[in-house]
Structure 1
Amino acid sequence: MKDSRLYPIGIQTFSKLREGNYVYIDKTDLIYRLVCGASNYIFLSRPRRFGKSLLTSTLRSYFEGRKELFEGLAIERLEKEWTRHPVLHFDMSLGKHLDREELEHYLGRRLSEWEAIYGRDENALMVNDRLESLIKRAYEQTGQKVVVLIDEYDAPLLDVVHEERELPKLRNVMRNFYSPLKACDPYLRFVFLTGITKFSQLSIFSELNNIENISMDEAYASLCGITEEEIRSQMGEDIAQFGKRLGISSQEAFDALKQNYDGYHFTWPSPDIYNPFSLLTALHKGRIDSYWFGSGTPTYLIEMLRKFHVIPQEIGNRECVAADFDAPTERMTSITPLLYQSGYITIKSYSHFSDLYQLDIPNREVRVGLMRSLLPNYVQRPAELNTLVAKMAEKIYNGDMEGALRLMRTVLSTIPYCDNTHYEGHYQQLLYVIFTLLGNYVDVEVRTPKGRVDMVLRTPSTLYVIELKLDQGAEAAMEQIDLKEYPERFALCGLPVVKVGINFSTEKRTIEGWKIEDGCNTIQ
C-alpha cells in the first residue's frame, strides 16, 4: 500500500473522491442494476453516515455522463452509451430546525441554484410550481429526460416528527414541494430519494404512489456500507497496516474492527455490513474509538427512550414482524422503528416459519455509546462514572470483582443521584449501564429453568451470575442464586462460574454489601 493512500473521511462528492487518491469500495455494479431496473422512482433508507450522500453524488456523476470518473470500476464495462442527462440534485440536510416560512425559503434557495442554469418562469411563485417549471425547462433545453436526486429528504422533519403542532405544517410544505414529481413523469428519467426514516406514503408522497422502497431488498442490501467480503478482498493491506500501528497481527486487527463496527443487516439474508464512517476513520487514525456515535449526539433518541419508558436493557433483543420496525416513525407506537431506522438496532436473524425478525444492537461501538448517553439519567455527574468504569475494567479483567465493587461503592456514595432511586430496577439499570461500559458481555433477566437471573456478566476468563437486592442484604441475594440453582444453567459455558450477591441501600444510595462465591471461597 502506498503511503499516499487516503481515506475519504467526510467526503461525500464522488468526483472529489475519484480525482484524489482515496479508497473507494466499488458499488457501481449495484448502481447499474438500480438505474436499469423496472422502476424509475426509488427510495432508500439508511442510518446517518452510511454513505447515502456519496451514493447520491455517484448517481449524479453517472447521469451527467462523466465516464472518466468511472474508469476501472465495474460499471465501465457494463455501460455503453453514457448519455448525459440534466440532473437536479437537492440536498435537504441543512434544512433542519426551521419553521414553515424558513423551510419554504430554504427550498426556494435550492431551486434558485438550478434556475440560474435553466431559467425561471416568473409566473411560478410556489415551490411546487417552480419545481415543475424547472423540470420542464431542463427537458426542453437539453432534449433529454431529467434526473431528480433528493438526499436526506426527511431532514426538515426529523426534529419535529412527534410534535403535533409543528409536524403537520412542515409536512405540508414538503408534500407540496414533492407533488410535481408524478405529474412530470413524461419528462423524468430517474427519481432517487434517500433518508433515515421510512416515508409515510399518505403524509408526504400522497401523489407519488409509484415510488419503490428498496430499503429491505436483498439485491441492494450492501448498496451502502462496507461488507466483510469487500474488506477482505479490497482492504487487506489497510488492515495489515492498521495492525502494525497497534502492534497486533492482521487477524487481531480485523477482529477488533469487526467487534466494534460490524453487525449491520438491513434485510435477511444479508452480508455482514460495517459502518463505513467508523471503519474508515479507525483506519485513518490508527485506533479504535466511538467515531459514529461521537459524530452526532442522539438527543432526540434519548428523549424518545424516555417518552416510551424504555430502560437500557430493553433497547436491544427485540422480536417482531417487519411492520413493527420498517414503519413510518411519525405514527410509531413504540420506539422500535426509530431505533432500527436510526441504526441503533439492526436485524440479527429471521424465522421464515413465524415471519419474525430478531433485532439487537449491532456492535460494541453502538452499545457503549448508548450507555454513555444514558448515564445522566442515573447520576448528576456522569463524568465521574467514566473514571470509575476505567478503574473497574482493570480490576474485573484481573479477576478482582471485590475490588471493583469496593470502588463502585465508594464512588457512588459521592455522586448525586437523579430521581427515582427507591426501587430495585433503578439500581439494576445503573449496574447494567456500568457493566456494559466495561466492554464485557452483559445481559439481564436471563431465563433459567427455575427463574430469571438479574444479571450475567461474561469476561474472557469468568462468567459472573449476579443477583441484586434493595435493602434486603447480600445474603438474601445469594440465597436466591442458590435456591434457583442459577449456576447450573451456565455449567456448559466453558468458563468458571462465580456467584455474586449485591445489596443496594436506599438510605446510602450505594452498594451496602456483597457476597462472592467462586466454588471455593466466599468474600463478604
Structure 2
Amino acid sequence: MESLQRRYPIGIQTFFKIREENYLYIDKTEYIYQMTHSASGYVFLSRPRRFGKSLLASTLHSYFSGRKELFRGLAMERLETEWTEYPVLHFDMSMAKHVDKERLERLLDFMLSDYERAFGLDATDGDANLRLTRLIKRAYEQTGRQVVVLIDEYDAPLLDVVHEKENLDVLRNVMRNFYSPLKACDPYLKFVFLTGITKFSQLSIFSELNNIKNISMDEPYAAICGITEEEMLTQMQEDMDRLAAKLDVTPEEILEKLKENYDGYHFTFPSPDIYNPFSLLNAFADGKFGSYWFGSGTPTYLIKMLEKFGVEPSEIGNNHAEVSAFDAPTETMTDIIPLLYQSGYITIKDYDESIDLYTLDIPNKEVRLGLMKSLLPNYVASKTRETTTMVAYLSRDIRNDDMDSALRRLQTFLSTIPYCDNTGYEGHYQQMFYIIFSLLGSFVDVEVRTPRGRVDVVLRTKTTLYVMELKLDRTAGEAMEQINLKNYPERFALCGLPVVKVAINFDSERCTIGDWIIEK
C-alpha cells in the first residue's frame, strides 16, 4: 500500500523534522560524536552542493540542544551519556546567494536580530561583528554554558562573484567582518562548525582564525556526508528491491545502474565508494533513473570559471594533482582543478603515494552527461529541445553502428543552427564531437597518443571502436591519408572490438561537416 511506502527526505534538511515525521535517515551520528569530541573545537567541512552539509549542521544543532529523544535508535544514543544543552547560534548563509553588499548586510541584520530578541538584547544597527560578539557573550552569561556556532554554506555569498575581483573583494570584506569575532570569543565558545563548497583562504575570510581544523580530506570523515555503498546495502536494501521490481530487473542489475549513475565519489584515499545522496533518494522516490543533481541547477560560477581558465570540455576529466592543490585558496587559484573537485564535478579516483599524486576524474554518468549538456551551448548555439532531439537520434544511429547516418544527421543539424563563435579552428569541432559523443553515454577521448602521433577523436561503443581524424577546410581524403600514413588503428588492435576509420572535413564557411569517409 502507498501509505506504507518509505518516506524520503527530498529537499528536507532539518534533522528534527526527518526524525519526528519518520523520514529515512542514514545514521551519521557516530561521525558527529567523533568530530565533536576531537581535539579541535573549530571545524571546517567542504563538500559539493546537495551532499547533506545542511542536514549535518542541523543534526549538530539538535545534538548540542540536548534533544536526546531525536537520537533514539541511532549510534549517538549509546555514545553520548551527558546530553548537555548548549546555546546554539545557527546561521544559514545559503539565503545570501546572488546578493550585493546592501542585501547581504540586510540579511546579516535579519539573522542577528532574531537571536538578539531571543536572548533579550535590543536589536541595533551596529557593525555585524560587534553584534555577534555581544550576542555570544550574552548567550554565555545568560545560560552559564559555552556557545555553539554553526555556519552553513559560509561561502554562498561569494561563489557567484568568484570570477569578479571587484565584487568579490566587497562581499568578502563584509563576511570577514562578520566572522572575525569567532577567535576573539574563544573563551565563550564550545564548538564552531562551518560548511562550504570551496575554500576561500583563511587569511581573507576568517582573518586570524588560523586554529580551524579542515576535515574535508581526513580519512575518518570520508563518509560523513553522502551515502556509502555499505550503508545503501544495509539500510536501503528494501528500497533497492522495490526499484528492481518496478523496473523488472534483478537486484544485481539495479546496483550496477545505481553505481554507474550516482556512485564514484571519494573525498580522500583510501575511501569507501560514496553515492550522491540527493540523486540516490530521488531515484528511489521516483522509481526511475534521472539527472537529479544537475536538474537542481548548474552553478553559473562554474561555467564562468571554465571560460576564465580556458578549460576545454575534454580537459575536465582524467587529471592529476598534488595534495597541496586541494588546499589552494579559491580566490587566488591559478588552476581550475581545485574548484572542479570541491564542486563535485571531478573526484579522487586513485592516489600514488610514492609521488604524492592524486588521479581525478568525473565521478559518474549523471555528472558527465549533465556537465556536457551545460557546456554544449558554447559549441552548438541551438535551442535545448532541438539539440536534445538531435542527440537522441544520433544515439540511435551510433547504437545501430550507422556512423554514416549519424554524420549526415549532424551535418544537417549544424547547417540549420545559428552561427557559433570560435568556429575558425579545428579544436572547436574536436571539442564539439567530444561533448556530443559524451552525451551518447559512450567512451570518448581526444588527442589520444599513438606511436606515430595523436588521434583527434576515439569513440568506443559496445560493438565498435571508431578512430577519427578531423580536418578544417581541407578534404576527408587528406584526413584518411593521415590515418593510414600514421597507422592509427594499430594502437587499438588489442581492444577486442572491430576498428573503423572515420575521416571528416569541416567547412568553416558553412559551419558544418563538409565531407567524410568511413572505412572498416
What TM-score does the superposition give when structure 1 sets the normalisation length? Answer: 0.96
Q: Which amino acid aligns with 1:492?
A: L
After the TM superposition, which residues 25-424 of structure 1 pair with which residues of structure 2 at under 5 Å, given as runs? 25-120=26-121, 125-383=126-384, 384-424=386-426
Deviating more after overlay: 240-249 vs 33-42:
240-249
Deviates more, 1:374-383 or 1:348-357: 374-383
Contact 2:163 2:301 in 1 (8 A): no
Partner residue in 2 for 1:485? 487
1:349 & 1:79 partners in 2: Cα distance? 36
SS of the residue corresponding to residue 96 of structure 2 reads coil
Partners of 1:208 and 1:325 lie apart in 2 by: 19
- Aligned pair 1:474/2:485, yes or no? no
Q: Percent identity?
A: 69
- Residues in 1 aligned to 2:111 and 2:73: alpha-carbon distance in whole angstroms: 34
What secondary structure, in the 3-state scheme, does the structure 2 residue paired with 1:56 have?
helix
**How far did residue 161 of structure 1 move?**
2.0
Moved more, 467-476 or 217-226: 467-476
Question: How far did residue 97 of structure 1 move?
Answer: 2.5
Work out the CA distance in 1 between the residues paired with 2:459 and 2:11: 37
Contact 2:16 2:62 survives alignment (8 Å): yes
Aligned length: 518
After TM superposition, give the deviation of residue 368 of structure 1 in Å.
1.0
Task: Look up the match of 1:522.
Answer: none
- Distance in 2 separating the partners of 1:502 and 1:247: 42
- Give 1:59 shift: 0.4
Q: SS where residue 381 of structure 1 aligns?
A: coil
Per-residue deviation, 1:152: 0.6
SS in 1 for 2:45: strand
How big is the shift at 1:484?
A: 1.9
Let me know the Cα RMSD of the aligned residues. Answer: 1.6
**CA distance, structure 2, for counterparts of residue 376 and residue 505 of structure 1:** 20
Consecutive unaligned residues of structure 2, counting only runs of 5 or more, are none
| Deviation digits for residues 142-183 of structure 1 (CA, Å, limit 9, x no counterpart) | 121111100011111112223222222221211111111111
Distance, in Å, in 2 between the alignment partners of 1:71 and 1:132 is: 35
Q: Which amino acid aligns with 1:251?
A: E
Q: Is the 8 A contact 1:378 1:417 kept in 2?
A: no
Contact 2:269 2:348 in 1 (8 A): yes
- For 2:60 and 2:123, locate their aligned partners in 1 and report how far apart those are by CA, in whole Å: 31
Secondary structure of the residue aligned to 2:306 is: helix
Q: Secondary structure at the match of 1:72?
A: coil
Is 2:438 the counterpart of 1:451? no
Q: Which residue of 2 aligns with 1:433?
A: 435
1:29 deviates by 0.8
Report the residue type matching 1:477 in the other structure: A
| Contact map agreement 1:121 1:130 (CA 8 A) in 2 | no
CA deviation profile, 1:366-397 (whole Å, cap 9, x unmatched) = 11111111122122214222211100111111
In 2, the alpha carbon distance for the partners of 1:275 and 1:427 equals 32
Q: Distance in 2 between matches of 1:400 and 1:172?
A: 58
CA distance in 2, matches of 1:4, 1:423: 55
Select the residue among 445, 462, 475 that pairs with 1:460. 462
Task: Give SS of 2:410's match.
Answer: helix
Aligned partners of 1:360 and 1:134: how far apart in 2? 45
What is the alpha-carbon distance in structure 1 between the residues aligned to residue 71 and residue 167 of structure 2?
44
1:290-328 residue CA offsets vs partner (Å, 9 max, x unmatched): 111110132221122112111111111211212224321
Is the aligned partner of 1:514 residue 2:516? Answer: yes
Distance 1:42 1:381 in 2: 46
1:494 aligns with 2:509: no
Residue identity matched to 1:185: D
Deviation at 1:445, TM superposition (A): 0.8
Inter-partner Cα distance in structure 1 for 2:161 and 2:397: 45
Instruction: Say if 1:511 and 1:219 are closer, same or farther in 2 by CA, change over 3 A.
Output: same
Distance 1:81 1:495 in 2: 64
Q: Would the aligned equivalents of 1:227 and 1:274 in 2 still touch at CA under 8 Å?
A: yes
- Of the structure 1 ranges 349-358 and 38-47, higher mean CA displacement relative to structure 2 is found in 349-358
Alignment check: 8 A CA contact 1:4 1:21 kept: no
Q: Deviations over 1:177-210 (max 9, x none)?
A: 1111111111111100001111311101122111
| Amino acid paired to 1:213 | N
Distance 2:170 2:426 in 1: 43
State the alpha-carbon separation in 2 of the partners of residues 103 and 124 from structure 1.
Answer: 14
After superposition, the C-alpha distances for 1:80-138 in whole angstroms (9 at most, x for unaligned) are: 11111111111111112222232222111101111121121678822111111111111
Distance 1:380 1:454 in 2: 23
1:253-307 superposed Cα distances (whole Å, 9 cap, x missing partner): 2111111111111111111111111111111111111111110132221122112
Moved more, 66-75 or 468-477: 468-477
Contiguous gaps of at least 5 residues in structure 1: 519-524
| 1:254 partner letter | L
CA distance in 1 between partners of 2:162 and 2:413 (Å)? 39
Shift of 1:11: 0.4
C-alpha separation in 1, matches of 2:396 and 2:125: 67
Report SS of the residue matched to 2:265. coil
Structure 1 segments of 4 or more deviating over 4 A? 121-124
Instruction: Provide the C-alpha distance between the structure 1 equivalents of 2:456 and 2:124, rounded to a whole number of angstroms.
Output: 68
Distance 1:487 1:446 in 2: 11
Q: Separation in 2 of the partners of 1:431 and 1:372?
A: 13
Deviation at 1:27, TM superposition (A): 0.8
SS across alignment from 1:108:
helix
